[in-house]
Amino acid sequence: MRRMTAEIPQETILEEQACMQRVRGMAGRPASYFIVTYGCQMNVHDSETLTGMLENMGLSAAADRTCADFVIFNTCCVRDNAERRALGNVTWLKELKKTNPQLRVAVCGCMIQEPGMAEQILRTYPFVDLAFGTHNLYHFPTLFEQMVLKQRRVIEVVPDDLGTVPEDLPIVRSNPYQAYITIMYGCNNFCSYCIVPSVRGRERSRDSERILREAEALYRDGVKEIMLLGQNVNSYGLDRPEGMNFPKLLAAIDEIGIERIRFMTSHPKDLSPELMDVMAGSRHICPQLHLPVQHGNNRILKSMNRRYTREIYLEKVAMLRERIKNISLSTDIIVAYPGETEQEFRDTCSLVEQVRYDSAFTFIYSPRTGTPAAKMPDQVDPETASRRIQELIAIQKRITSENFEHYIGQTHHVLVDAPSRRDIHQMSGKNEYNITVNFDGSPDMIGSILPVRITEARETTLRGTLVQA
């Protein structure tokens, strides 16, 4: 049974806003901050909210973590490697704090929401001053104030957010031309390998009118591209039966006029013909979709609790390509899931060959404590897992190269983002297919969507020449 969603009471948000003003006038508070972000776009957007709060509290961004008075790690725990990286970097600050005793260190995000992690932080990392999870991000100003006023460690983790949704939090976007809009929080799918429902909670959709007003404000502010975010955007609105579903929300946002609309993540089981039709008939939705398959074998998919089969996934891919002729597809794939046989791995390889993704994010299965898969027998040995993922990467690299060759000679529209990292005389940006394109240009082009004729395909990027008007 789905829980009904409720916004956090307005008086609570007003209290946090008042707290930000108190901190701004507080003597002895940190003057500068630096945020280190791990994980997905949801975490990046959370860091934009943290930035908005910190700026409202009077802190200024530091150039790097070594010269900041307050360093906050916004963590991810979806895979073990991300967690170890975060903890390793937190430990590194222990030495920095010896030379700068006034430095304050905070850890927040998904990792802190894991059962027992707050206690581990208390026990193992005594130099951490502040820790909080995903459900009480809106409460950050009060926690920060307590840390400064009481001169002691503050640890607060809310185990269950009771279906609440925060609104009216300050945000400082990292890019003036691109923006994220979170349309929902949490996940109800409980894939056997995934800890997200434990750390992000159950699905809660934001009110559609608030989302549309936010999109309209971004359009007036000159934003060229928005990314709609949710753990499973396709199930948007199911906890608000009186409101819009995701296809209708997407169609309404398309009418606003923002030049580019993207969204992620889409669970294949909820990808509907209605959504495909909205994408096909839209003016601004990019012809690109991230559609995580995770595996190519039906037994493994059932064990993963993905609730679709290989055949259903391929049928939906065919429907997408029938409706949206030039759609670019990307995916997530897990290799060496518990009990995966050689033939089952081959099924994944054959699916990748059949779908021919433009790109794929491939991962070796990472056991997450508290998930069913972590307790499963027949965990695949590291040597076999490494061999399999290297083979899969090689297959996808070849397919990407072949796909990119077909783009040569086409004119793509590139949202110019920044100078190329390798050549200051070139500009870089993403085309409508979310592929990086580099071309000769100048910094005054940043923020524009320009036609670029593709002339060369590289391993993960394209190169081209600007089409003159």
28-59 pLDDT, tens digit each:
899 999 999 998 899 999 999 999 999 999 99
Find, among 190, 212, 192, 209, the residue nearest to 200 by Cα: 190
Q: How far apart are CA 248 and CA 237, in angstroms?
A: 10
Q: What fold characterizes domain 411-466?
A: OB fold (Dihydrolipoamide Acetyltransferase, E2P) (2.40.50)
Model confidence at 2: pLDDT above 60 = no
218-247 pLDDT, tens digit each:
999 999 999 999 999 999 999 887 789 999
Exposed, middle or buried, 350 (CB in 10 Å: 0-12/13-18/19+)? middle
Q: What average pLDDT score do residues 326-330 get?
A: 97
Model confidence at 122: pLDDT above 50 = yes
Q: Please answer whether residues 283 and 323 qualify as being in contact, where contact means their C-beta atoms are separated by less than 8 angstroms.
A: no
Q: How far apart are CA 433 and CA 170, in angstroms?
A: 31
Model confidence at 161: pLDDT above 70 = no
Task: Provide the pLDDT for residue 162.
Answer: 58
Model confidence at 395: pLDDT above 90 = yes
> Which tokens is 217 given?
């404000």
Alpha-carbon distance values, 420 to 428, 429, 452, 460, 461 (Å)? 5, 9, 15, 14, 11
The two beta strands, 130-132 and 104-109, are parallel
Task: Provide the pLDDT for residue 134.
Answer: 87
Task: Provide the pLDDT for residue 143.
Answer: 96
Q: Under CATH, to which class is 6-156 assigned?
A: alpha beta
The dotted CATH code for 164-403 is 3.80.30.20
Q: Please answer whether residues 190 and 205 qualify as being in contact, where contact means their C-beta atoms are separated by less than 8 angstroms.
A: no
Task: Provide the pLDDT for residue 349.
Answer: 98
Chain centroid, CA 464 distance in Å: 28
Task: Could you list the beta-strand ranges (E) of 93-177.
Answer: 104-109, 130-132, 154-156, 164-165
Non-local (6+) Cβ contacts of 124 within 8 A are none
160: confidence class by pLDDT, cuts 50, 70, 90: low
Q: What average pLDDT score do residues 4-14 get?
A: 79
Task: Provide the pLDDT for residue 84.
Answer: 78
Q: What average pLDDT score do residues 264-274 get?
A: 96
1: confidence class by pLDDT, cuts 50, 70, 90: very low
Q: Please answer whether residues 146 and 16 qualify as being in contact, where contact means their C-beta atoms are separated by less than 8 angstroms.
A: no
User: What does the domain layout of the chain look like in residue ranges?
Assistant: 6-156, 164-403, 411-466
Q: What average pLDDT score do residues 133-158 get?
A: 90
